[in-house]
Structure formats: C-alpha cells, structure tokens
Structure 1
Amino acid sequence: MLKRLIWLSMDFPKATIGLVLLATLLFGIQFPKIHIDTDPENMLPVDQADRVLYNRAKQDFGINDLIVLGITDEAGMFRPDPLARVARVVDRLLGLKGVITADVISLTTSDDVRSKGGLLEVRPLMQAVPDDAAEIAALRAAIADNPLFSDKLASADGTALAVYIPIERKDQAARIGGELRAILDEELDSQQDYHLAGLPIAEDSFGIEMFSQMAIVSPASGGVLFLLLWFVFRKFTLVLPVMGVAMLTVVWGMGLLIGMGYTVHIMSSMIPVFLMPIAVLDSVHILSDFYDRYPRLGDRRAALRESIEELYTPMLYTSLTSAAGFASLLLADIPPVQVFGAFVAIGILAALLLTLTLVPASIMLIKEERLQRAIGALDHEGGRLGAVLRGFGGFAFGRAVPVALISALVLGLGFWGVSRTVVNDNPVAWFPESHDIRIADRVMNRQFGGTYMAYLLIQGDAEGAMKRPEVMRYIEKLQRVLESDPEVGKTSSLADVIKQVNYVVHDADPQSRQLPGETDELAQYLFLYETAGDAGDLDNFVDYDYRTANIWVQMRAGDNREMARVVALIDDQLRVEPPPPGIQVEWSGLTYINKVWQDEMVVGMMNAVLGGFLAVFAMMLLLFRSPVLALLSMLPLVFAITLSYGLAAFVGKEYDMPMAVCSALTLGLSIDFAIHFIQRYRLNLSRLGGDLAATNGVVFGETARAIARNAWVIAVGFSPMMFSPLGPYKTVGVFFALLMLFSGLTALGLLPGLLKLTHGRLWRQQPATA
C-alpha cells in the first residue's frame, strides 16, 4: 500500500505536492487555537496525591505561591527615606491584579504582638514611617525581637528588606513581576537595588523565555541545517524538499496536537526540536543513494525506484522503531510527557510519509538535463570523506578483536560514569548565571531565611487537636530539627506565635518565651491573640477548627537533593520519635511539589526508555530474524546512552529534567544508523556470495557516507541550541552532538568487526529482501 503511494507520487508529482500543501494548510490553520501552559506543576496529574494535598493546604491555610521582593541599600534600609519608599511600593503593589492583598507580608502589612497598658496589642509593625532615630531603632528592635520576622522581613545587617507577595496563579507571576519592576523603577532612587525571587516567577519567566527562544533557535537550526545540506548535495532544488519534509512534519505534528485540544506545555514546545533532525534522516539516505545511482542509470525515475526499493525496509523500520521508542513515553505517568511522546511518534510517521511522497515527487519535477549537470559532475566516490570512510572501514574490519576489546573497555567506563550520576534539578538553575533571576536567587538567599517555600503539615484526627500542649511541643521540636539543616534558613509556626504571646504578656521576660504546659493556658493565649488582632491573623499557621497546623519552611536552596535531604531528616525524626497519638505529618509546598514531579519524571522517563528499548529490540528481532543481529543493532543505542550520560556524570553535570528528556532522543536517532548499516550489509553480502571483506568495502561506500552525513548534518545543524542562554536548550544541543558522535562511531567503527567475528557461527547468512 505504501509503496503504491510512492509510485503514484512519482507518476503525479504536481498533484502529490498539491495534496501535501493542502493537508499542511489544514494543520496550519489550527495554530491560532494554541493554548500555552508554562507551569511545571502540571507535569503531575490533577488527581495526584501530593498535588491534591497542596491544593487543599492552599485553601485551608490561605497560602499561595509567592514572589519574594528584596530591596537593598548598602547605606542601610532603616532610614526614613528608604522606609518611605518601601511603604509606597507596598501600597502600590497591593493594587496589582492577581496579588492577594490580604496576605502580603511586609513591614506595613504584617502584625506584631505587643503589650500596651497591660493588654495585648496586635498591630502592623510599621503603622507610619518613622522619622527619627529612636523610632527607627524601635522598629528594628521589634523585628529582631520577633522570631516570625527576624531574617524574614529584614536582613541581620539592616541593608535589605523583603516583601512576600502571594499571587492568585503562577502563570501571572511574570506579568506581575513586570508591573512591579515598573513601580520599583519609579519609586526607588539610585541608592537602592531590587530583586525578584521565588519559584513562581522563575518558572513562569522560564516558560515565556523558552517559547521566545524557540522562535529564535528553531529557525537558526533550520537555517544551518539547510546550508549544511546544500554543502553536501550542492543543489537547492534537491535540498528544498528535504527541508520541506522537516518543516511540514513540524506543522503536521503541532497542528494535530493543537487541533485536538491539547495544551502546549514546556515539554510539547520541544516537539519541533526533536522532529526536525529525525525527519531529515531518511531523506538524506534517499538523496545519498540517488546521487550514487543516477549517473550510472541516467534516468531519474529508474534511479529513484532502485533507491527506494533498497531503502524501503530500513526506512520503514527506522521510522517504526523510532516511533515506538517515543510512544513508549506513554508509560510515564506524567501527562505532558505522554503528549510529547505520542505526538513525536505521530510526527515521525508523518515524516516517513512525507519523505516517501514529497521527495520523489520533487525530484520528478526536475528536468533530466539539470540533474545531469548537477549530479553528473560530482565525485561519486565521496571525495575526501569517501576516502576517509573507506580507510576507517578497512581498519575496523581488519582489527576486529582489538576494536571490540577497546570498545568494551570504553563501555565499561561509560557504565562507571552512569553509576556516578547525581539526580538533581532546580528550575532556577535553567537560567544563565548572569540572569536577573539567578542574581536575585543568590542575593535573597544570602540576606534572608530563604525564598524556597515548603510546608510541613501537622494533621490531627479531631477538632482542636492543635490546642494540645504536647502537639505544640512536637511542632517546636520539628522546627528545631528542620533548622539543623544548613539549607533551611527559617521556620515559622503557630508555636512561634504562642511563644511570642507568652513572652509579651510577661513583659518581655526571656524565660517566658516558651510554650505553656497546660491546655487552658495555651487556649488563653490563642484567645488573647485572636481578640486583639484580625480574625485571619492565624490563617497561615492553623485551620479554622484547629485540626491541622502548618510549619512554614524557608529554604535557601531549591535543588531536589536539598529538599530530599530535608524530607529524609524529618522521616528519621518521625521514626525516632513518632508524633503524638492522632497526629500525622505530611509535606507540601511548591518546592516539595517540584521534587515530586521531577522525581516522577526521572523514574517515568527511565521506565519509558527501558520499555522503548525492549520494543525496539523486539522489532529488530522481527526485521533481522536473528537474536545476534538484533543485539548488534542495539549497540549504537547502548553506547550513545551510556557514553553520553557517563560523560555528563564525569564532568559533573547532574541528571535533570532536560537530560531526562534527551534520553528519549537516543531511541529516535541512534537506531537509524544500525538498521541501515546492518540491513545494507546483509543485502550486499547476499549479492556478493558471502564475501565479508568485499561486502564491507561496498557498505563503506554510499551507506557509510549517508550515515556520516546524517551524523554531521544533525550534530552541526543543531549547534545553535548550544548558544541559547537557557540551560535546557544547551543540554539538548550538546546531546544532539554526543548522540551523533557515539552512535555514528559505534555503527561504523564497531559493527563491521563484530559482524565479521560473528558471521557464520552466530547468525545465518540469508538473502534479505527489500
């Protein structure tokens, strides 16, 4: 059926191109319906347990994702003018759309507990801007004297103040940040500097910048790819259909995704980057073979037909195996990863269809005379590349044993490197060191208790559970355990509020800053605080019926491994000293959620790649009808994965989300070379009567040149990604090059010797049909 379609495209080239363009138009008109989602949290299903708990915690405690604003002045912030400027900034930001004004934490909006005339008074820290040294000293002392505010609202040296800005939705963070910067530029003078930190603004900004970079990097990669193809084949009319296949594949894949109503997430935004190189692989094989055959036959139709007849089976299987590899991502329980894998797989099959129709149709529209002039004058022995490859092939074939031993040693080093892999990620680290967000992260986490928010939920089984003294003492102990970790800068809880009330009502006696031992006394302090202040002053720390409490955990680092270490620290404490009866302890918060989805993604991608590996191996068994040949065909994939990730570990690159995504890329690219090499090897071996040396010489003609061209074109063609300021693009660009290097070297340098060593004993010589 598919072959019939190929011959029809050659018989009716104009109609074929017209139908392809019409289909492309139908897919293209779907693009205005695009819906973009830049929230990494949506990596998790909406009903995932940790995500459900986090959403419930937001409702129960009135907590929301935070933008942390820091304002610094080397001369000191505790002066009338800087304090007045901060007050105006806070007043104006309260009017920004999307800011939850009631929960903004700042000098002017946060309540302090004080004693006045023997009564408890709860009022804003800074009701009015102080205008003399005594008032300023009193303000600074009040901050330092309240554990809820020290290292949170002001730095210890007094050169920085912080404002914690809760927002309704994370996808508003970048917009709110932009509007806030405009306010700050107006209100602050040249002495003050400001920084915006926190995971929400980092994640939202990254999503926006990633889509912007996509608009730059993709065309740049496409342009370089076009120039390289022209350099290889030296005729624009032959290169244009190859680029057309790549571009139209992207339009078809993304158009179908959007048209079916799927959201374009951070993962699916990278589909074009993955499809373009895979889409050109088969086209390069067709052109390489056509260039060799056409001068001999002098008839484009005959040359095309012979090329496609010989290449049809390896192209079909490379496409099917690559599609199966990406489709295996459906095994990952991460919706955006599933969408990514499914539509890359669909795009690969679309690329095969376009390659087998658009490329032949385009060639059929080129006049014979022009083809004669363009191709007939070329060196069909491959020039310098051909000479190098023939020498390389002879060496690999003639030194089979030492090459195999050295390869085994190198593979062992790769496995050793993989064993040293450290799994870790932090969305802030996806930006370059010089980016405002990275600078803000460094400055803010040095000056304050931490901008990475996590929450430790203490859940009781009955109303009023948090009014039990033993529960409060347990919360206090958990805080001390947490603060023993170097990356936990500060914790805050209901226990701190109660201790501060006790301290104040006893005339600031340091001995009184402790939790009361009796239930009645504890309840009395809570009553005093609630009646003296606003009804919602305790919302962030305890729910309405005192069933569940919340410990705010501010961390100075948001790396997965830092969060994991803190989680393990609490787990150890829970084992050593279980909570009081009826109490459960669970983690939540954005920093913890990031750890959860990244962990699930790493595990999910590993499982998916393993599933894809097995699926590809099964297809190799079907294609080659030989377990040994199937195993040999998997070697480029094995070497590419092992050496790429082993090298990354040796140079200190941690296994993060971009690297997890790249693991799927190996399935799409590495298997191509092995299939073409082994299938063409078998075909020529049959034609040459089983002469291995002669077969090796033939395969290291056009077949080896096509493999080398593909590796070179893709590795260099996507090098512009390495110059992107965003870490994930750099990672993908480097991995394109490494995968091409390792899989190409394995196919051309190791397989000849292994085929020689195993022939006649472990796999049967048998005629291979196209």
Structure 2
Amino acid sequence: MKKWISFVLDRPWVVIAFVLVITAVTASFLPRLIFDASIDAMIPADDPVLIDLREVSEDFGSQELFFVAIQSDDIFSPSTLKKIFELADELATIQGVTDVQSPFNVEMVESSFFGIEIRPMTFSLPQKPEEIAQFKEDILSSPYAGRLATSDGRGAALLLDVDGKSSERNIVINEIEEIVNRYRGPEDIHIVGDAYILNYTEKAMKQDLRNLVPFVIILITLVLYFTFRSLLGVVIPLVTVGASLIWTVGIMSWYGIAVSMISMVMPVILVTLGIASSIHILNKYQESLAEGLSKREALEQTFDIITSPVVMAALTTAAGFASLITAFVHPIREFGVLTALGVLVAMGLSLSLIPALLILFKEPQVRRNDSDEKETILTRMLDGITKWAVVHPRRLTVIVLVVVLTFAFGATRLTLESNIVNYFGESSPVKKGTRVIEEIFGGSMQVSVVVDTGEEDGLKDPQVLEEILVIQEYLNSWDTINHATSIADVIRELNQALWDGDPEFYAIPDSREGIAQQLLLFTMQGGTALDELVSYDYSRALITAQMKTLDAKTMSDVINQVDEFLANRYGNSELEVRLLGTPKVMLRLMNRYVQTQVSSLVSSSIAVGIIVALLMKSIALGLLSLVPLLFTVVLNFGIMGYAGLPLDAVTSIIASLAIGIGVDYAIHYISRYRLELAEKGSVEKALRATGISAGRGIVYNAFALIIGFLVLVFSHFRAISVFGVLISATMIVSSLAALLVIPLLLNYFAKRKRTV
C-alpha cells in the first residue's frame, strides 16, 4: 500500500484525471434513472402469491381498487349531485381511463313486459325533488348501496378502471388529480387506490431526493467546517463523496435498476458514510502536521497508519450492506449490493483522490499546544470516559447488563408492517383519503376469493352458487371486510326481477336450466360486467370484497382465519377455493421481513467478524469488535418495541446497517490501541491515549453521521423519518459502546492475560 500512496503523491494529476473521466461517464447515465414503488416489485415474480394474483388479474381484470370519493353533508343535494355527475363525465374523457362507474350509470335490473330490463340507475341528472327522491330510493335499495352511495348521505364514490398496461399511466393519474382538484370545495374529494398511491409515492420519492440530498450536503459542510475549521477540511471530503455517489447512482442507472422506497435513502447514506473515512484521514493528517512533519511526511505517516483501519472499516461496512443479499424482498437486495458498492468506491477514492488533492493543497494551519476551549473540554471528557471504564469495570458491566436486559424485553414487543399507506404521515393525502374510504365505504383494499369448479358451466350449478353465498356471508361477518359481491348477487337480482320484484324470490333458482336462461337473458338485454365476476366458460367465479387497512397483527389474524375457514370447508371438496389480493401479498411481505432480519443479522455478524479477524490476524479481536454492535442491535429493537415502531421494509435493514457501520468505531479504536500499546507498553496509558486520539475521530464521525441521518426526518414518508431517527440512535449507542465497552473488554482481557 505504501507504493500506491507514493505513486499517488508523485502523480496526483493522473489520479485526478482518471477520477474525472469515470465521473463524467457515470454521470451521463443519471438522466436514465427510473423509479418504482409498486408492491409487486417487492416480491419475486415467481412467488406463488404473486402468480395467483397475476392469473386472476388476467382472467377477471385488475384486482386494484381506484376510488374517487366525494365527502359531503348531503350528497343528494342538487348541487352536489351535479358536481358528481360532471366530475364523472369529465374523468371518462381521459385517455387511459377505460371506465368510470358512478351512482348514475351503474346497471339496474327491473321487471318488464319482456321479463327483465337492464338500464342505468338514472338516464339524466336528477335535480327536481321528486327526481332526487326516486334516485335516492333506487340507489340505496340496489347492491351498490354502501359502495357507491352511503345511506346517511355522507359519501359517494366513483370507481375508475385505469389502463394498467399503459406506459403513460402516471400521466393518466396526474390528469385525474388535476381534474379532481378543480372540483374540490365545499365538498371534500379524495383519490384512493393502488395506482394513485404508487404515483404519489414516486413523486414524493423524487421530491425527497431533490430536497434531502442537498440538505444533507449543507449540514455535512457545516459539520466539517466546525470540525476542521478550514476550507480544505470541507472541500476534499465533499468532492470525494460526491464522486463516489455519482459513480454508484450512475452504475445503478446503467443497469436499469429502479429507485425504490428503500434505495431512495442510499444517496443520503452514501454521502453521510463517505464523510466518515475523510474525517478519520484528515484528523490523523492534522495530528501528523502538529508533530512538526512536512506535508509529504505527514501524508505518508497518515496513510501508513490510517489505511488499514479505513480498509477494514469499508470492508466491514460493505459486508453489513452486502448481507442484505439474503433478503426475500428484491429492492432490499438491490439496496444492499448497491450501497456496499458505493462504500467500496468511497474507500477507493479516500485512498487515492484524497491524498492526490492533499498533496496539491497547502497544508492547513494546525495548533499544537493551544487548542481551543471546546477541544480541551472534549479531550477531558474522552479521557474521563476511558478512565471510568478502566477504574470501575464492575459498575460499568452491571449498567451494561441492566440496559441490555431492559431493551431486550422491549424487543419482544416488536410488531410488523407492510402496508405502504402506513408509511405516510397522518396529513398526507394518501392517508387522509384512505381514512375517509375506511370510515364511509368500509375498506380501501380489495380482497378476493376464487372459486374453481374445474368444469365448464360449473357455476350454473345451484349448489355451487349457494356455496358462493356462504363464502360471501362469511366475509361480510367480519367487521373489517365489507361489500362482498359475486355472480350469485346478479343471479338473485335477475330471479327477483323475473318474479315482478317480489323479495321472496331474491334467491338462487333451483335448476341449472333456470340459471342458464337467466344469464342468457341478462346478456341479450345488454347486461355487462360478467367478465369481472366469472371466467368465459363459467368454470370459475370471483368473489370480491373491500377490506379495511389494519395493523399487521390484526390483518394477519383475519387473513389466516379466512384461509382456515376456506381450507376446512373446501379442503376435501371438488371445489378449489383460494383467497388472494393485496392483503395476502402484504402478509407475505411481513413474514419475509422477519426472515430478512434474521438472515441479514446472522450473515452480517459472521462476515464482519471474519473480516476483522483476518485483517487484524486475531480471532479474539474479531469477536471483540462485535460485542458493542450486538449491544447496539438489542437497543435498536428495544427502542422500536417500546415506541411501537414496526418492523417494515425500511426499518428491517437497520440492524445490518448498525453492524456494518458501527463496527467502524470498534476498528478504529482497536487499531489505534494496538499502536499505542506497542509505543507505551502500559495498557492503561494506551487506553487513555486511544480514548483521546481515536475517541476524537469517533465523536466527530458519529456527530457527522447523526446529523446526516437525521436529515431523513424531513422525508415525506413516516417510515423513512423513523428510519432516520433509529439509525441516528444506533450511531449514538454504537459510538458510546466503542468508547466504553471496548476499553472495558480490552482492559479485562489484558488483566486476565497477566494473571494467567
């Protein structure tokens, strides 16, 4: 490595030119960056749950709900009815909106001279009192009551079909949003649905990146300036981290990897982490200059001492991120690999670009013996912490054990979350709209049951239709599931209409022939929408219902109990019955978050331990470096448990990050301790010298990381904000653990070795 540093110091412009060329090439790919926040992207394409959902979507149409909900004191007032009518008409004109189902145009089945008549709920906009009264009676006595209009008059809904295959889907959603905005007031109008949430999420992600990355750069700039109080200490780290970020994101764009809800935090993480090695390098450089060395000598000494810990820190941090390759969730794997790559790129630039720039710049002014008051206070604090750890080991051990046990208990209260709606704050339009749909219409997610008879025209069997009604009644028995509908409802409506509307005949006919004739009559009279309820050969039926947004445990209980009911009733029958839908996908994700957490924790701990052991040529030191990290992980889960913060797609990566990032402190501390011990010969003197020298770098480093990660608090997403707070908390804990637990253990093993 000495030869490499000598090469860089002798030919700095060669290194700088190479970095500029690579930066320019990778930057050219940045305009091709794409975004994808869909839940489908979270799960492998060959997962059975996703395959089932995809097959049903092909047979019966999209299983996504897209609501435009109108909230008013009285939706049956003339002005509100007019607004709903005109809004529906205008939305229908948008290219890409294939259908708009409104309270006015839904099909109504009536008795007639020819048996039945199928007509719209109303042929014209009702404005006169008698017209409104008739319309209200018709819609509230129809199967659409509660779905498109509520009996209390507080809400009406438009159900939209948005072309899912259109490459311009976001443009369609933006047009819908623009039209809806014009119609708002005095009525509240909300847009709810998977497509809208996806569109809003992607826009919020882009806005976050535009705002948060410059913000973190500004804050890091301030931290660097107050740390080194020189232009050199600000420019060089920022140039280095900027180049590494461009390289990483450019490679991401080159490979066509989309920015996800998880990987959107990568730029902030890379900027923040990239500063860390720069701080350690510049801190040591200033120390060397303070010893009276020339610029060249100071740089040679700096990189002779700092290269090993910088490489170890980068490799272990990269290993922590790379451990996420074991994750079930695809975007988490991409995030892990890309961030690991970014860390390694930053390491390479730290050991090439930084010395190349430092040799060209005039060395900064360094105060040798007249450090300012803040430095004196920090030095005394660090020395006091180390001295306390060495002098009172038993007291510190008891405190550490009590803290670990307390937070370990809190970890048992950890919950899960996979609903993207809950990633937003209460004030976001996504959360507001969802809450309205939940309160007024009974649910914002669609859950479906597929009934497969296995034979053509199997659905024309009265017994099969009766079983479909049993499933509907069971679904509707849940407070959290509403408006279960199926082909059986259409058959009952037709049968009642054929008997002059007699309520007694709102039932399934007794014979196959009767059912077949009614379906034929329905089609001949212009009835539509059967394609969304049955397959073309009448072998399969779809039961759909609206489900409320629930917390993870409640949703898991509901889904599992519905699955159990279907398995018990139809497990040994000729009918194949399956539950599917977005809630089922979410449940799948929640289970995988736990697997991701466990696998990444184990793999990152093993990888980090092995890397440290190999580089330090000591198994004991490899294990020692993990102790404060496991302490940090326990505290992280404990905080989440006590605070009621769930384990989700974003927070599930924190533990691996804490291990990968937090080990840097242990590495720098142990590396410096070994040098000080070789020089001073006394364990206590070496620890106290290490506590001051390495401790200063750890404090500056941790402060920069904390400030950088706290920027995420300002994200549009509650999940990202929580991530920022938690990862900042882990940095506080891991730095304190390095300053307290590491000297405690080093002193303990040194005493034990002397005793033996």
TM-score (norm 1): 0.93
Measure, in 2, the Cα distance between the counterparts of 1:577 and 1:741: 54
Offset, 1:62: 2.2
Give the corresponding residue for 2:278: 283
Per the alignment, in what secondary structure is the counterpart of residue 165 of structure 1? strand
CA separation of 1:764 and 1:366: change in aligned 2, threshold 3 A = farther
Give the corresponding residue for 2:90: 92
Q: Is the 8 A contact 1:111 1:123 kept in 2?
A: yes
Task: For 1:451, give the aligned amino acid.
Answer: S
Q: Is the 8 A contact 2:710 2:724 kept in 1?
A: yes
Per the alignment, in what secondary structure is the counterpart of residue 579 of structure 2? strand
Q: Is the 8 A contact 2:535 2:541 kept in 1?
A: yes
Q: Is the 8 A contact 2:324 2:653 kept in 1?
A: no
- 1:259 matches 2:254: yes
Give the corresponding residue for 1:429: 422
Measure, in 2, the Cα distance between the counterparts of 1:116 and 1:295: 100
Give the corresponding residue for 2:239: 244
Give the corresponding residue for 2:16: 17
CA separation of 1:360 and 1:462: change in aligned 2, threshold 3 A = same
Measure, in 2, the Cα distance between the counterparts of 1:572 and 1:38: 31
Give the corresponding residue for 1:654: 646
Measure, in 2, the Cα distance between the counterparts of 1:594 and 1:481: 22
Offset, 1:678: 1.8
Question: Over aligned residue pairs, what C-alpha RMSD do you find?
Answer: 2.4
Offset, 1:34: 2.1
Larger deviation, residues 259-268 vs 249-258 = 259-268
- 1:632 matches 2:624: yes
- 1:751 matches 2:742: yes
CA separation of 1:176 and 1:661: change in aligned 2, threshold 3 A = farther
Task: For 1:346, give the aligned amino acid.
Answer: L
Give the corresponding residue for 1:110: 106
Give the corresponding residue for 1:419: 412
Question: Could you report, residue by residue, the CA deviation over 1:102-137 in whole angstroms, capped at 9, with x for unpaired residues?
Answer: xx3212332122112361122211222224333322
Offset, 1:469: 2.5
Identity %: 27
In the TM superposition, 1:181-196 aligns within 5 A as 181-186=177-182, 188=183, 190-196=185-191
CA separation of 1:122 and 1:39: change in aligned 2, threshold 3 A = same
Task: For 1:47, give the aligned amino acid.
Answer: D
CA separation of 1:488 and 1:764: change in aligned 2, threshold 3 A = farther
Offset, 1:381: 10
Offset, 1:276: 1.5
Offset, 1:372: 3.8
1:567 to 546, 555, 559: 559
Measure, in 2, the Cα distance between the counterparts of 1:737 and 1:425: 23
CA separation of 1:517 and 1:580: change in aligned 2, threshold 3 A = farther
Measure, in 1, the Cα distance between the counterparts of 2:490 and 2:374: 82
Give the corresponding residue for 2:716: 725
CA separation of 1:112 and 1:661: change in aligned 2, threshold 3 A = farther
Give the corresponding residue for 1:664: 656
Give the corresponding residue for 1:345: 340
Measure, in 2, the Cα distance between the counterparts of 1:115 and 1:428: 44
Question: Could you report, residue by residue, the CA deviation over 1:620-643 in whole angstroms, capped at 9, with x for unpaired residues?
Answer: 332344444322211232122221
Q: Is the 8 A contact 1:64 1:168 kept in 2?
A: no
Question: Could you report, residue by residue, the CA deviation over 1:181-228 in whole angstroms, capped at 9, with x for unpaired residues?
Answer: 433454x47433311112321222012111111110111011101111
Per the alignment, in what secondary structure is the counterpart of residue 657 of structure 1? coil
- 1:617 matches 2:609: yes
Measure, in 2, the Cα distance between the counterparts of 1:93 and 1:3: 69
Give the corresponding residue for 1:768: none
In the TM superposition, 1:70-89 aligns within 5 A as 70-74=69-73, 76-89=74-87
Measure, in 2, the Cα distance between the counterparts of 1:343 and 1:444: 38
Q: Is the 8 A contact 1:469 1:515 kept in 2?
A: yes
Give the corresponding residue for 2:466: 473
Give the corresponding residue for 1:52: 51
Structure 1 alignment gaps of length 5 or more: 766-770
Give the corresponding residue for 2:452: 459
2:321 to 315, 326, 331: 326
Measure, in 2, the Cα distance between the counterparts of 1:427 and 1:34: 22
Task: For 1:539, give the aligned amino acid.
Answer: D
Measure, in 1, the Cα distance between the counterparts of 2:214 and 2:107: 54
1:697 to 685, 688, 694: 688
1:156 to 139, 143, 151: 151
Offset, 1:380: 11
- 1:511 matches 2:504: yes
Measure, in 2, the Cα distance between the counterparts of 1:72 and 1:318: 56
Larger deviation, residues 165-174 vs 188-197 = 165-174
CA separation of 1:665 and 1:126: change in aligned 2, threshold 3 A = farther
Offset, 1:465: 2.4
Measure, in 2, the Cα distance between the counterparts of 1:763 and 1:196: 71
Give the corresponding residue for 1:550: 542
Measure, in 1, the Cα distance between the counterparts of 2:514 and 2:300: 92
Q: Is the 8 A contact 2:107 2:119 kept in 1?
A: yes
Task: For 1:635, give the aligned amino acid.
Answer: V
Give the corresponding residue for 2:125: 129
Q: Is the 8 A contact 1:274 1:665 kept in 2?
A: no
Per the alignment, in what secondary structure is the counterpart of residue 258 of structure 1? helix
Q: Is the 8 A contact 1:71 1:161 kept in 2?
A: yes
Measure, in 2, the Cα distance between the counterparts of 1:764 and 1:235: 48
CA separation of 1:646 and 1:57: change in aligned 2, threshold 3 A = same
Measure, in 1, the Cα distance between the counterparts of 2:87 and 2:455: 43
Structure 2 alignment gaps of length 5 or more: none
Offset, 1:562: 4.4
Measure, in 2, the Cα distance between the counterparts of 1:762 and 1:261: 55
Measure, in 1, the Cα distance between the counterparts of 2:236 and 2:755: 39
2:440 to 447, 459, 469: 447
- 1:228 matches 2:220: no
Q: Is the 8 A contact 1:482 1:566 kept in 2?
A: no
Measure, in 1, the Cα distance between the counterparts of 2:280 and 2:709: 19
Measure, in 2, the Cα distance between the counterparts of 1:658 and 1:358: 33
- 1:33 matches 2:32: yes
Task: For 1:231, give the aligned amino acid.
Answer: F
Offset, 1:376: 8.0
Measure, in 1, the Cα distance between the counterparts of 2:184 and 2:218: 45
Offset, 1:362: 1.8
Give the corresponding residue for 1:298: 293
Offset, 1:683: 2.8
Task: For 2:334, give the aligned amino acid.
Answer: V
Larger deviation, residues 719-728 vs 229-238 = 719-728
CA separation of 1:559 and 1:201: change in aligned 2, threshold 3 A = farther
Per the alignment, in what secondary structure is the counterpart of residue 715 of structure 1? helix
Q: Is the 8 A contact 1:156 1:447 kept in 2?
A: no
Task: For 1:57, give the aligned amino acid.
Answer: V
- 1:487 matches 2:486: no
CA separation of 1:191 and 1:453: change in aligned 2, threshold 3 A = same
Q: Is the 8 A contact 1:454 1:554 kept in 2?
A: yes
2:389 to 390, 396, 418: 396
Task: For 1:93, give the aligned amino acid.
Answer: L
Give the corresponding residue for 1:578: 570
Task: For 2:637, give the aligned amino acid.
Answer: Y
TM-score (norm 2): 0.94
CA separation of 1:25 and 1:41: change in aligned 2, threshold 3 A = same
Measure, in 2, the Cα distance between the counterparts of 1:152 and 1:634: 56
Measure, in 1, the Cα distance between the counterparts of 2:173 and 2:251: 34
Task: For 1:122, give the aligned amino acid.
Answer: I
Question: Could you report, residue by residue, the CA deviation over 1:485-529 in whole angstroms, capped at 9, with x for unpaired residues?
Answer: 222122111122222223333333333323334333333333332
